[in-house]
Structure 1
Amino acid sequence: MNENDLQIFIDGATHYFHQMSESPAVVQTPYLKEHEQAITHEFTGIIGISGKKKGCVYFTAPGNLLKHLLLSIGEENTSKNALCDLVGEVANTISGNARSHFGPEFMISVPVVVDGQPERIKLPTNLRSYVIPVTWRNYESAVVISIE
């Protein structure tokens, strides 16, 4: 991954929040992370990547961020199922936008959603992950990219 590739994921995250609410998301400086412990919040949507590139992309956020995002679009249902659907949708949308950049060889899976702190997210051990911290309305979330 190079800086231009990373920018695709940053743009995808900021575009998603811009489209869904009047409050913009603020992206902090991305950083590299070793695999000793995955960055996670209360809800995580994971997209597997296959084809020419392999690995995963995931979006992780606290429940309150997801609830407020649903409320900001006029959705009154903030049940656990609605929060799971939303975190999966965010991950899928960001990955789908990246697919349009990388081309059809960048194949994405359907989202796998984890409710609660996952015991372990298995990231490719031969790669370091790029973490893109995203703040929306004072809530911290992250897009994590681990792709060869």
Structure 2
Amino acid sequence: MVEKDIQIFIDSVTHYFNQLKNGDITIDTPYLNVNHSPIISDYTGVIGISGNNQGLVYFTAPKLLLEQILQSMGETDRNDSNLFDLVGEVANTIAGNARNHFGPAFNISVPFVFSGQPNAVLFPKNNHSLIISINWHDQQAAIVVYLQ
């Protein structure tokens, strides 16, 4: 990926959080991660990518950050079902915005969501993923991009 491609993901997550009440968000400098152990928080929404690009994009966040997003949306029910829906929605929104940039051959799947650590490794171990760290309301989340 080139810098312009990386900026699409940064702009997408920034736009998402800026739409929320108290949407001040800080994005750290993206970095490459060797995929020996994935970056995973409490809840994760994964979008598979196929077509001209192969790989995945996922959003992972602590429970408290997701609860704060729901609160800023006026949602009072913060049960697991809503947290799963939210983490999947954020991942889908970010991947969908990337699809607008990369074109119709950038196919995205429906979100796969889970909590805790996955039973299987999400990445091919011999490659790298791009980590975009997000800080919002003193909580840290991440967008992780793995594209071949």
Normalising by structure 2, we get a TM-score of: 0.96
Residue 98 of structure 2: aligned partner: 98
Matches within 5 A, 1:1-148: 1-148=1-148
1:123 offset after TM fit, Å?
1.1
Moved over 3 A (4+): none
Compute the RMSD of aligned alpha carbons.
1.0
1:43 offset after TM fit, Å?
0.2
CA contact 2:17–2:25 (8 Å) conserved in 1: yes
CA contact 1:99–1:107 (8 Å) conserved in 2: yes
One-letter amino acid of the counterpart of residue 61, structure 2? A
How many percent identity over aligned positions?
49
Q: Deviations over 1:99-128 (max 9, x none)?
A: 000000000000000112223332134531
Structure 1: state its 5+ residue gaps.
Answer: none
Structure 2: state its 5+ residue gaps.
Answer: none
Instruction: Give the stretch that moved more between structures: 67-76 or 16-25.
Output: 16-25
**SS of the counterpart of 2:65?**
helix
